[in-house]
Structure 1
Amino acid sequence: MLTQAQTQAQGFVLTRQSRDVRGRTEIVLWVSTPQGPARLVVQDEKPVCFIRQQDQQAAQQALHQAGLVVTWKPLPLKNFQHDPMSACYCTSIRDSLQVSTLLTPLGIEVFEADIRLTDRYLMERFIKGGIAFTGQHQSRAGYDDYSGVKAKAADYKPTLSMVSLDIECSEKGILYSIGLHSERDSRVIMVGEPTPEQAALDWIRWVESEKALLLALEEWFIAFDPDIVIGWNVIDFDFRLLLKRAEWNAITLRLGRGKQPPHWRQSSQNANQGFITVPGRVVMDGIDTLKTATYNFRSWSLESVAQELLGEGKLVHNVHDRMAEINQMFREDKVALATYNLQDCKLVTRIFAHTHLLDFAIERCCLTGVELDRIGGSVAAFTNLYLPQLHRAGYVAPSLDSDNWIASPGGYVMDSKPGLYQSVLVLDFKSLYPSIIRTFRIDPLGLVEGLLLEEGKGDEQAIAGFRGGRFHRQRHFLPKMIEDLWAARDQAKRDGEKAFSQAIKIIMNSFYGVLGSSGCRFFDHRLASSITMRGHEIMKTTRELIERKGYEVIYGDTDSTFVSLNSEKTSEDADAIGQQLVAYINQWWADHLRETYSVESALELEYETHYCKFLMPTIRGQETGSKKRYAGLIRQGEQEKMVYKGLETVRTDWTPLAQTFQQALYHRVFHDLDVDEYVRDYAQATRAGEYDSELVYRKRLRRHLSEYQKNVPPHVRAARMADEQNARMGRPLQYQNGGWIEYVITVNGPEPIEAQQSPIDYDHYVDKQLRPVADGILPFIGLSFDAMTAPQLGLF
């Protein structure tokens, strides 16, 4: 409990670290408060893990022999096998890390040893961002210091200050300038000797050397003290290089609060990925945060994303041209370079503002307790929410056991019925998997408790799942967690809180994935299968219900059902049928589940879309219907919208040539316009070189170039040719460690656009780009691409 004698305050957790100090643990939390930044120090929290009581004596002996001093306490807790447990408390983090190392080889299982001390401290107090705390207060330069801290959860939303950071450098990594853009200050720190006119520009700070540049950056952070640092690839490029150049200049770059240095940790799995901790400040990369918020773009370059989201950006694609341009500006026009540098900062700031990324990260943290800068984090979010409740129910969590992972069936995907249709409805189950979890009480604890009940006699207390799963009707947490999130999302949508609604949606929909992941300690194939196989059952039954009404189901995918109305309908008539079907099916499921399982249905089918024209293509080169690939025309009043799913237009591995062709061709077919002349002229114009700018393939190299040995795909051959050219010209090799390559197909095979030497192979583009697009739709109107593009023979 919080004591009244000490200073009390509340705030929002920015960063968390723990360490040993003279053999004792110390947790340091940096917090944003209404009064400014605060450093909270919690001492002597004991790291804990759990061991079966029957193993305690052997464990005690082994740890004693190793010189570890631990404290044991039998607890009214058990594991999922119902064995009584004891807690093993260590005095230091160092000792706690040795417990599993010493005991596991002896066959003694150690539970929850991988839970970090800071995470356990926060999650067991249900602290999710907002924190109330008390402690001995002392004012420091730039922040408040609290020792002897006690803390609990608080409902507190922060207002955080943010800076966008971007560096410019030579190809060898020597720093030229650093751009910084925030509400309080927007400037560039530039190496160089200014002219009198340049010196008069108050938004550029001139410094004499790279070392002075880094020290000026320190000064800026002290002066303006941002909570959040954002950027584009800001961790793996900007911060990595800043720390490297600081080391080269023999200085410690103190960018953290309290003049503390950042801590860099290299990924053990990816040489190109690192992690950075800056005490008191959160570093958020724009690319990673957008991905976590489920955004997706054809290209993740700042220019491309800015163009797509904001309608502006820099159209410089070739890295060597860009590098030459930067070098030239640094030599000849440093103000132009500073402008360029600051523009990058402003673009990132505008992207964050446009997508509400910081709001999204804050809301996700408040919902789950994961760090603001956490990438992905679905398993961590679930653990944070579930583990404290599990302990209070008398259980410790199982250990991670990927060796016993058994795959569960994926989502339901129906074989499609290919064709060109008039009036197709799409009916969607709203959050199908979360609604199944709610309805059928699917839950890790519920499974453990449900399996305790005697089969056949426990049906009043348990609900049968799949693959032997049985779920207790009362003892569970996950259904209530989802119910609360569901209600919160509905409220957020009513209030127009898009970031909050998106955060909830992602978290809620991640729970199935977590339970089906070998990376989650709560994985059990009976859990995941009871969700997906129930989904299959629901989708198949829903199809039968629709077909009883005389309509044709032409496709089904996970939670969506595509219904052909068998004839052309007006929008009003189609909407009426859609609403009637939804009402009928929802009522049927409510009645059926109440009668069969004695549960209230949380299933909610919604009428989503009416396609006035709809294409379900075949698998390329076959007569079988494709899956996850279709196109449709939506008409709302005078407005029209084409939707493409899985087709060439929305795939990054097809050329702009094919995409432009597809969009125009489909428009003509869907509007009953003549296509013969268009197809013939487009193919001829392609062969005549009129569309050369649209022939570029852009593909990602997902491995090191040297790893492609037996099968060498075209983009790898192009990348090798590009780096051979780079080597000949004395430039850095660009593609050895992955990345994106742009190339064309020539008569001599694939060649990179920056080193193209041979003529274009136009036959390739007609055969491999235009023909597959045309063959996806023309047969449904009785036409053939080959017949339309064949040379016209004269009459003799």
Structure 2
Amino acid sequence: MQFSPEKVTTHAAPLIANRGFLLTRSARDRNDRLEISLWLKTPQGPAQLLINNERAVFFVEQTSLAHAKSVLAQQQVNLDEIKALPLKTFKQRPVFALYFLSLREFYQARAALHKQGIKCYEDDIRPDDRYLMERFITADITFAGQQAWLTPKFAGTFTRFEHVKCKRLDKSQQTDIKLSTVSLDIECAMSGELYSVGLYSENCQQVLMIASATDIAREQQANPDADIDIVWQADEKQLLLSLLAWFQAHDPDIIIGWNVINFDFSLLQKRFDLYGLTFAIGRDAQAPYWRKNKASEQQFIDINGRVVLDGIDLLKTATYNFPSFSLDNVANTLLGLGKKVTDVDNRIAEINHNFHHDKTALARYNLEDCRLVLLIFQHTQLLEFAMLRAQLTGLAIDRIGGSVAAFTNLYLPKLHRSGYVAPNMGDGEQGFESPGGFVMDSIPGLYKNVLVLDFKSLYPSIIRSFNIDPMGLIEGLKSPDTAIAGYDGALFSRTAHFLPAIITALWQERDKAKVENNAALSQAIKIIMNSFYGILGSAGCRFFDPRLSGSITKRSHSILKTTKVWIEAKGYRVIYGDTDSIFVHIGDQHNGASSRALGKVLQDDINHKWQQLLKTDYGIESALEIEFETRFSKFLMPTIRGQDIGTKKRYAGLVEKGGEQQLIFKGLESVRTDWTELAKQFQRTLYLKIFNDEPVADYIKAVVADTLAGKHDQLLYYRKRLRRKLSDYVKNVPPHVRAARLADEIYQQQGKPQRYQNKGWIEYVMTTNGPQAKGCQSAALDYQFYIDRQLMAVADAILPFINSSFDEITNSQMTLFDR
């Protein structure tokens, strides 16, 4: 349904048909009319589409229309049209569409009506987003338009089209359009003064570096055969102008980097402003548009025709997790590569030194940072992931998070075509909350042969099976006799719904992606599907209603409890369950082959039972699918420290993969970032010995003795994040904050920059004088602290299950030492 039909105008110039991949979109007023600008990458190169025949729109209820017209007349806000549409709210109230020719009038009208308490629907949908979603356009576009004249400055750099009509490009017509990418990194002084800019693309690896004539001569003499392309710049102003010239010459679609928006681009903008220069980095030589998240202070940048992708943000969106997202740590973890700097902890000092004394070394460091980012993107297929997510959901390719927006893009146009406008936030049922995922009470112990049965995408499969859907809830409540019962009074229509079909389509695409080994597509679809429950359960979503989320989570509780009953009726013991997984102890007599065969039997039997139950009790087809996922040959479910009660979300086990034994830890010290490396190594070795029925007393004694002898000092560092500014820690001052404050006092006394005042990470040790930061240690290490708080804590989680304890083993050792 198009709320604003395109006005047909006859033009002399012929329409040119083409297709492309959407890079950026924006809406603005031009000559007091709304103009939507879409930048694409086409097979022929970059193109700008200008759409001038759209109007901004929102909706008001019929009962509010007279009041709304009166308010807008008093405020002298121009309305282009008021139109009755076959649309209604979720409360079955008819609405009228209010159209505006300009964004200015749209915003004025919205503000005036809000002030008078008049409810406006969908007044937060941007016109450019609405234009795309109402045509079911995501990222692939086919269009027809008239080629517009460009000034000689831009001739040949991109093509501009006017009087454009766009449609979604059918999947069968899609062909790969390669986006050109450059990795950008800057080096600068602590004061912000630029030293160099590194640029690394497929066709150009170059560093723009400030240097005097004397510097250049020295570098050429010292490095006559330097294998790096350095373009010397006389001063900072020339560097900035050369950077713009580089972008004009190489014209990349995508700019990638590490904290590239909040650091690199933010600093570049400040330096351009300092010299009174326009940061004309857009394809149309326009400056970028900056936005800021008020809550997090995170900045966002919009560049006409170019996309900036930050590696850290994109890795998090793709659900990667690292103890530290520093470039050095991520590159080492994923690639086994690190920065080209001698002392990472003091790299600022080394960068400053190299700029003044060894610019070629600084250029290598600068360019290597660019290369590492590009290699990380390639290794993790981050660009492919971002493009596929855009194609699946209509999200802008650089959108961080965006689960709610993705849902809106996919759902809203379908909702309109069924006669509804979307609700506003807060319109859903209020006053109660839905529970989270079901976590069973665990039965602690050290087990042989534990099978893990996992429901495949449980929440999405519940949505598919029980037709859980925002509009389906409204329609189901209208026809209770034929609806599917949910929870908390929810009823879901058997025929009027969209979300189950959306998820089914995504599910099928993911299965296909798995067959084709397309990891980026599979991951993108998984994240989208799994986000839909969170959206329905989030008060930040316009479709939030606890009856929706409750009908998912409470159903999952019932499914896990019923499945547990079925398994235990066969004589096996369910020792734990968490959200979508069930852990089953099948007995000590099984070997690997018989365990796996039994896991397959349990899987098939449970799936059959669910198909029968849903068909008999609800008259629906089951999309529930449990899979035999893992066999632990040995498995530990520990107790809560100091209690006999089993833990939740904490366990360890031994599995066989590819003919090799592999330790799996969940929630225990070995996978936590706030435990020392000593504790982690100790836990891994100790557990492996116990799982393999090997003696452990001598090993424990040796680790204790070596710790006391100082042989493990390099393993005793804690690493923790300072989540607030140091000055914000007042009542509760944890050890890592005390270490940070002491370290910055020392740096201040030495005339060095303070490191820890404004958040970040700190490494520290526990000494006889308390916590002290790495590099600022003045007291002896408190070895007994590490033995009691680290080694004993790890050991006593498992030793009682073999009838032993840390004290029992180490006390015998201490008795020998005392003789």
For Structure 1 versus Structure 2, the TM-score category normalised by the shorter chain is: over 0.9
**Kept in 1: contact 2:137–2:167 (CA 8 A):** yes
In structure 2, C-alpha distance between the alignment counterparts of 1:99 and 1:444, rounded to whole Å: 29
1:298 maps to which residue? 323
1:765 matched residue in structure 2: 786
Deviations, residues 369-388 of structure 1 (Å, cap 9, x unaligned): 00111111111100000000
One-letter code aligned to 1:299: S
Q: 1:428 to 1:320 in 2, by over 3 A?
A: closer
Q: CA RMSD of the aligned region, Å?
A: 1.8
Letter of the structure 1 residue corresponding to residue 182 of structure 2: V
Equivalent residues of 1:402, 1:518 under 8 A apart: no
For residues 211-226 of structure 1, what are the structure 2 equivalents within 5 Å?
211-226=237-252
Please state how far the C-alpha of 1:262 moved relative to its aligned partner. Answer: 1.5
Which one of 729, 740, 751 corresponds to residue 730 of structure 1? 751
* Matched AA of 2:275: N
Q: Is 1:656–2:686 an aligned residue pair?
A: no
Q: Contact (CA 8 Å) 1:161, 1:228: kept in 2 or not? A: yes
Q: Is it true that 1:256 corresponds to 2:282 in the alignment?
A: yes
Instruction: For residue 552 of structure 1, report the CA deviation from its aligned partner.
Output: 0.4
Distance in 1, matches of 2:414 and 2:161, equals 29
Q: Point out the more displaced range, 196-205 or 677-686.
A: 196-205
Change (3 A) 1:794 1:279: closer
CA distance in 2, matches of 1:294, 1:402: 31
Q: Does 1:66 align with 2:102?
A: no
| 1:178 aligned residue | 197
Match of 1:168 in 2: 187
Tell me the equivalent position of 1:191: 210
Distance in 2 separating the partners of 1:445 and 1:774: 54
**d(CA) in 2 for partners of 1:658 and 1:67?**
71
1:205 partner amino acid? V
Q: 1:437 to 1:22 in 2, by over 3 A?
A: same
Give the superposition deviation at 1:464. 0.2
CA deviations over 1:90-116 (Å, ceiling 9, x no partner): 221122123332222323111110111
Contact 1:405–1:518 at 8 Å: present in 2 too?
no
Equivalence for 2:102: 92
Matched, 1:150 2:165: yes
Which has the higher mean CA deviation after the structures are superposed, 62-71 or 385-394? 62-71
Q: Which residue in 2 is equivalent to 1:375?
A: 400
Alpha carbons 2:339, 2:368 under 8 Å: kept: no
Tell me if the contact between 1:402 and 1:519 (Cα under 8 Å) persists in the aligned partners: no
Tell me if structure 2 keeps the 8 A contact 1:303–1:315. no
Q: Which amino acid aligns with 1:401?
A: G
Aligned to 1:646: 667
User: Which residue among 286, 289, 293 is the counterpart of 1:267?
Assistant: 293
Pairwise CA distance, 1:794 = 8.1
Name the counterpart of 1:133: 143
Q: Secondary structure at the match of 2:550?
A: helix
Question: 2:377, 2:657 → 1: CA distance?
Answer: 32
2:650/2:668 contact within 8 Å kept: yes
Aligned 8 A contact 2:40 2:305 in 1: yes
Compared CA separation, residues 637 and 107, structure 1 to 2 (3 A): closer
The SS at the match of 1:484 is helix
Q: Distance in 2 between matches of 1:355 and 1:605?
A: 29
Q: Aligned AA for 1:47?
A: A
Look up the SS of the partner of 2:397 in the other structure. Answer: coil
SS in 1 for 2:26: strand
Question: How many equivalent pairs are there?
Answer: 790
Query: Within 2, Cα distance between the matches of 1:99 and 1:36?
Result: 39
> How far apart, CA to CA, are the structure 2 residues paired with 1:219 and 1:719?
44
* Pairing partner for 2:436 from 391, 404, 410: 410
- Give how far 1:754 is off: 2.6
Q: Secondary structure at the match of 2:287?
A: coil
The secondary structure found in structure 2 opposite 1:792 is helix
- 1:407 Cα offset (Å): 2.5
Residue type matched to 1:143 in 2?
F
Which residue in the other structure is 2:815 paired with?
Answer: 792
Structure 1 match to 2:804: 783
Q: Distance in 2 between matches of 1:437 and 1:17?
A: 34
Deviations 1:564-615 (A, max 9, x none): 0121421110011000001111001101110000001000010101110011
| TM-superposed deviation, 1:622 | 1.3
1:106 maps to what in 2?
Answer: 116
Q: 1:475 Cα deviation (Å)?
A: 0.1
- Which has the higher mean CA deviation after the structures are superposed, 730-739 or 541-550? 730-739
Partner of 2:3: none
Residue 313 in structure 1 maps to residue 338 in structure 2: yes
Greater shift in the superposed pair: 66-75 or 383-392: 66-75
Indicate whether 1:477 and 2:498 are aligned.
Answer: yes
Tell me the CA shift for residue 319 of structure 1: 6.6
Structure 1 residues 733-779: Cα deviation after superposition (integer angstroms, max 9, x where no partner): 33222111111111121111132222111121111111110011000
Give 2:575's aligned amino acid: I
Residue of structure 2 aligned with 1:327, choices 349, 352, 376: 352
State the Cα distance separating 1:725 from its structure 2 match: 2.5
| Cα distance in 2 between the residues matched to 1:220 and 1:103 | 48
TM-score, normalized by length of structure 1? 0.97
Name the SS of the counterpart of 2:121 in structure 1: coil
Aligned to 1:40: 49
What are the within-5 Å matches in structure 2 for residues 446-485 of structure 1? 446-453=472-479, 455=480, 458=481, 461-485=482-506
2:758 is paired with a residue whose SS is coil
After TM superposition, the structure 1 stretch with the greater mean CA deviation from structure 2, 218-227 or 695-704, is 695-704
How far is 1:691 from its partner? 0.8
Contact 2:341–2:365 (CA under 8 A) maintained in structure 1: no
Relative to structure 1, the CA distance from residue 757 to residue 488 in structure 2 (aligned partners, 3 Å threshold; closer, same or farther) is same
| Uncovered stretches (5+) of structure 1, i.e. residues with no partner | none
8 Å contact from structure 2 (residues 340, 364) kept in 1: no
Whole-angstrom distance in 2 between the partners of 1:551 and 1:317: 57
Whole-angstrom distance in 2 between the partners of 1:495 and 1:439: 27
Cα distance in 1 for residues equivalent to 2:687 and 2:324? 25
Matched residue type, 2:159:
D
Residues 1:31 and 2:40 are matched in the alignment: yes
Normalising by structure 2, what TM-score?
A: 0.94
Amino acid at match of 2:582: T
8 Å Cα contact 2:28-2:36 kept in structure 1: yes
Are 1:618 and 2:639 an aligned pair? yes
Deviation at 1:328, TM superposition (A): 1.0
Q: Which amino acid aligns with 1:510?
A: S
Q: Once structures 1 and 2 are overlaid, which stretch shifts more, 724-733 or 501-510?
A: 724-733
Counterpart of 1:672?
A: 693
Aligned match of 1:560: 581
Residue 539 of structure 1 aligns with an amino acid whose one-letter code is L
Q: For residues 740 and 422 of structure 2, what CA distance do their matches in structure 1 show?
A: 48
Which secondary structure does the structure 2 equivalent of 1:624 belong to?
A: coil
Which of 22, 25, 45 is the matching residue for 1:16? 25
* Equivalent runs, 1:445-524 vs 2, <5 Å: 445-453=471-479, 455=480, 458=481, 461-524=482-545
Distance in 1, Cα, partners of 2:300 & 2:744: 29
